[in-house]
Amino acid sequence: MSGHDLPSEPFERAVACVIPAKDEAERIAVTVDAVNKIIGVDLVVVVDDGSADGTAEAAERAGAVVVRHERNRGKAAAMETGAAAVAERDGARARHLLFLDADLTDSATAAAPLIEPVQSGTADMTIGTLPMQVRADGSKAGGHGFVVKLARAGIEEATGWAPEQPLSGQRCLTRVAFDAAVPLAAGFGVETALSIDLGRKGFRILEVPIEVKHRATGTDLRGQLHRGRQYLHVRRALAARSALPAGSGPSLRSLIPRKPAQ
């Protein structure tokens, strides 16, 4: 997506990786180790968003700076907390920000291509497009694509640009771009809102293919409820930005499976 001409930041500055995490004790250490191998990343901040397990301790042992939320406050709040922790450690030249999911494990190193376009000044924000994700049994992950279609249509309605993977949480952006998007939209609407808010302000957004893998959701009740919450949050983010497209898909109730009749 092309934006207006904006002041360019100095190139090749360092990158801080912010990882929101909740109950990821089994995966976070491997993810942090992998991120530390990415050239250009010199700081890893894990935001423990109200975990009930040993996420914070595991992240600290892996060498991350850990900031804790005593209770779960959601991904957007964790992103803002992490960015604030980076700012406290920045000198005169603010680091770029790389946001990654906590469950990428050793595939996190494959997020490296997100950095170069931002460091070189080609893009103000990059969005990682992922290969098809599969579950442990080898079956295709995900649902029927209602949430993705809604987010894509809303972003296109607002900016004229239709991203391939509008819900991707793997993103790198300049500090200037991040600050321009604060406060972030709550819940699962954060990625959709980021693309709209920065696109409307003329920041340059680029999708970049990356070979990362994360824990895939299934089509069971838990997975359907997760997608139902996503759908609701994305609709809220779009409505708040007057970007909810006409005929914007099924109702939330239709996305949640009913219990079988007794």
Which amino acid, 56? A
Q: Give the rounded percent of residues in the chain with a pLDDT score beyond 70.
A: 80
Nearest Cα residue to 143 out of 167, 125, 126: 167
CATH of domain 15-138+171-217: 3.90.550.10
- 145 and 166 in contact (C-beta within 8 Å)? no
Higher local confidence (pLDDT), 229 or 16: 16
Token pair listed for 133: 């994700």
CA distances 140 to 209, 218, 244, Å, are: 19, 8, 29
Pair of tokens at residue 85: 């922790």
Q: How many helices (H) and strands (E) does the chain have?
A: 9, 7
What's the pLDDT tens digit per position in 73-112?
A: 999 999 999 999 999 999 778 999 999 999 999 999 999 9
Q: Which two tokens stand for residue 200?
A: 């409307």
Distance (Å, rounded) from C-alpha 11 to C-alpha 96? 10
Reference 187, options 89, 75, 91; nearest CA is 75
Amino acid at 85: A
Q: Give the whole-angstrom CA distance, residue 156 versus residue 207.
A: 15
What b/e string do you get for 55-73 counting C-beta neighbours within 10 Å, with b at 16 or more?
bbebbbebebbbbebeeeb
Q: How far apart (Å, rounded) are the C-alpha atoms in residues 117 and 141?
A: 29
Q: pTM surpassing 0.75?
A: yes
- Output the average pLDDT for the chain: 87
Structural domain boundaries in the chain: 15-138+171-217
pLDDT score of 249: 54
* Residue 262 token pair: 């007794």
pLDDT of residue 216 exceeding 90, the answer is no
Binned at pLDDT 50, 70 and 90, residue 133 comes out as low
Higher pLDDT, 222 or 151: 151
What is the torsional sign of CA 52, 106, 164, 9?
Answer: positive
Q: Is the pLDDT of residue 193 over 60?
A: yes
Task: Please report the DSSP string for 125-154 in residue order.
Answer: EEEEEPPPPB-TTSPBPS-SSHHHHHHHHH
Q: What are phi and psi of 226, to 5 degrees?
A: -60, -45
